[in-house]
């Protein structure tokens, strides 16, 4: 069966390499370096699916008409290449698929035909309880107790991994879902059926946006939306409104990623980016480590952005090599990104709907409460701030109900925290072997 290609955009990336759908085949601004990376990724997505049952050629033409600063009343279909689930919301999705198989069997059909149409990874990371800590045997003991407490659930997930195609399960004790996604699951550039394309995803956790640090467009959705994507349905979203943040300079000595992310959060909250795509650009990115980028992208829910994307550059490639991606994968990412205009070039960067600028050299050490990053206080002003708020030198009394409500309203929920249980000093240390690592579980599809 011939894949639809109404714009004649499919061509080879090079000898011995997969094909790609060239954005410059569309003409106009698609060959212009001033087009934001976020728009390019979305445009490639509709271009590659155009002519199929879910995306029309008109959808491509609609997005090609995107212009910075011009509002447009239109919806764009987005078909992510994969779904990331954490066990808290992923288990219900697996149960729904199992129920569909039962219904298929009752109707006399083949239940084996019920499978996710989009690859999915389920990372078990929301069942952690800390029974023992501070000893060499603590990790193995806690993992063993976790298997005991959640045995029935884990049996279901193990069955699902073997029963459904394109479903992988990362076992407990491996790490939080966003860490596993960043270090193991993300390909940055995916290859299927002889075609290379940007790695895109949705996840059932608001902080899925951490993956944006790698140049991967992904964000959090609810369980219903995730199941729709699993069943091959597109997500519809308004024409992208992209807010650019242009970085210059370098972080001064003594400052940390936390200092930077507090300033960025304060800046974006003050500007207002709810529902928008934030994209970083500028020469200041050259000195910003991948871990610092991930810290900023992870805060997208805190300032309300749909995603906070960083372009692909040498730092991206270095991180992929550091985390064990193959040399062939790293080479493909570089070739594809440069061919499609997803690579960060020196200079000011693309044109955006709105633009903010930030000189990294102005960032200074600061402090803030964990739930109120907007209350950031520079370290140099900490003494004065303390004396202003506590003139008698005594600590504060218990906050009033209105203050607590205000703090809650100003915050966005983060990932579910682990439950902490008192250490059982009388229990004997476990001799259980450590849980498998993600590297040993996650294999190429």
- Summarize pLDDT for 263-277 with one digit per residue, the tens: 999 899 999 999 999
Give the lowest-confidence range in 167-181, 338-352, 355-369, 384-398: 384-398
Q: What is the pLDDT of residue 378?
A: 83
Q: Is 37 left (phi over 0), alpha (psi -120 to 50) or beta?
A: alpha
User: Which value, to the nearest 10 degrees, does the dihedral of the CA atoms of residues 66, 354, 293, 368 take?
Assistant: -150
Residues of the chain with pLDDT > 70, as a percent, come to: 85
Asked if the structure places residue 56 within a domain, the reply is no
User: pLDDT tens for residues 23-34?
Assistant: 999 986 665 668
Residue 431 belongs to a domain: no
For residue 66, tell me if it sits in a domain: no
* pLDDT tens by residue, 380-413: 888 888 888 888 765 555 555 554 455 444 443 4
- For the segment 2-9, the average pLDDT, to the nearest whole number, is 85
- Whether residue 115 is contained in a domain is answered as yes
pTM > 0.95: yes or no: no
| 305-354 per-position pLDDT tens digit | 999 999 999 999 999 999 999 999 999 999 999 999 999 999 888 999 99
Measure Cα distances from 215 to 146, 279, 297, 311 in Å.
34, 10, 10, 5
Q: How many domains does the chain have?
A: 1
> Whole domain around residue 200: which residue ranges?
82-214
In this prediction, residue 129 has a pLDDT band, given cuts at 50, 70 and 90, of confident
Confidence of residue 445 (pLDDT cuts 50, 70, 90): very low
pLDDT of residue 203: 94
Measured CA to CA, the distance from residue 179 to residue 294 in angstroms comes to: 10
Q: pLDDT-derived band of residue 172, with 50, 70 and 90 as boundaries?
A: confident
Nearest 5°: the CA angle 248, 216, 62 is 95
- At 368, the pLDDT band (50, 70, 90 cuts) reads confident
Domain annotation covers residue 375: no
Q: Which residues contact 141 (CB under 8 A, 6 or more apart)?
A: 131, 132, 427, 429, 430, 432
For residue 109, give the CATH number of its domain: 3.30.499.10
Rounded distance between C-alpha atoms, residue 74 and residue 71, angstroms: 9
Rounded Cα distance between 3 and 10, Å, is 10
Asked if residue 291 is part of any domain, the answer here is no
Q: To 10 degrees, what angle do helices 87-106 and 223-230 make? A: 50
| Backbone phi and psi for residue 93, each to the nearest 5 degrees, phi listed first | -65, -40
Greater pLDDT, 319 or 367:
319
Task: Provide the mean pLDDT of the chain.
Answer: 86
pLDDT at 398: 52
């Amino acid at each position: 069966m011939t894949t639809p290609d109404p714009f004649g955009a499919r061509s080879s990336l090079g000898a011995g390499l997969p094909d790609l759908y060239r954005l410059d085949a569309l003409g106009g601004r698609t060959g212009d370096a001033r087009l934001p990376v976020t728009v390019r990724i979305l445009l490639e997505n509709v271009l590659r699916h155009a002519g199929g049952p879910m995306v029309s050629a008109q959808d491509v033409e609609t997005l090609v008409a995107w212009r910075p600063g011009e509002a447009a009343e239109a919806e764009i279909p987005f078909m992510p290449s994969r779904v990331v689930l954490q066990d808290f919301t992923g288990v219900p999705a697996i149960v729904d698929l199992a129920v569909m198989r039962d219904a298929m069997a009752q109707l006399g059909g083949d239940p084996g035909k019920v499978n996710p149409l989009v690859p999915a990874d389920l990372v078990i990371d929301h069942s952690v309880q800390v029974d023992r800590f501070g000893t060499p045997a603590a990790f193995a003991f806690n993992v063993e107790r976790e298997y005991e407490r959640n045995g029935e659930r884990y049996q279901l997930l193990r069955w699902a991994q073997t029963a459904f195609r394109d479903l992988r399960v990362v076992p407990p004790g491996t790490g939080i879902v966003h860490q596993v996604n960043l270090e193991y699951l993300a390909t940055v550039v995916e290859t299927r059926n002889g075609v290379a394309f940007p790695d895109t995803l949705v996840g059932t956790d608001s902080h899925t946006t951490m993956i944006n640090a790698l140049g991967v467009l992904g964000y959090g959705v609810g369980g219903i939306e995730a199941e729709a994507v699993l069943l091959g349905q597109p997500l519809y979203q308004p024409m992208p409104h992209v807010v650019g943040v242009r970085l210059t300079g370098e972080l001064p000595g003594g400052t940390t990623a936390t200092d930077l992310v507090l300033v960025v959060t304060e800046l974006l909250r003050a500007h207002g980016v709810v529902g928008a795509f934030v994209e970083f650009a500028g020469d200041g990115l050259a000195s910003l480590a991948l871990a610092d980028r991930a810290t900023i992208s992870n805060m997208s829910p805190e300032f309300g952005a749909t995603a906070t994307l960083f372009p692909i550059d040498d730092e991206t490639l270095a991180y992929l090599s550091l985390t064990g991606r193959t040399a062939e994968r790293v080479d493909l990412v570089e070739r594809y990104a440069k061919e499609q205009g997803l690579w960060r070039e020196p200079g000011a960067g693309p044109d955006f709907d709105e633009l903010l600028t930030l000189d990294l050299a102005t960032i200074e050490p600061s402090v803030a409460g964990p739930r109120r990053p907007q209350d950031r206080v520079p370290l140099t002003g900490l003494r004065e701030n303390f004396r202003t708020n506590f003139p008698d030198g005594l600590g504060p009394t218990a906050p009033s109900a209105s203050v607590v409500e205000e703090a809650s309203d100003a915050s966005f929920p983060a990932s579910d925290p682990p439950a902490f249980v008192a250490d059982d000093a009388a229990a004997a240390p476990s001799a259980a072997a450590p849980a498998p690592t993600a590297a040993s579980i996650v294999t190429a599809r």
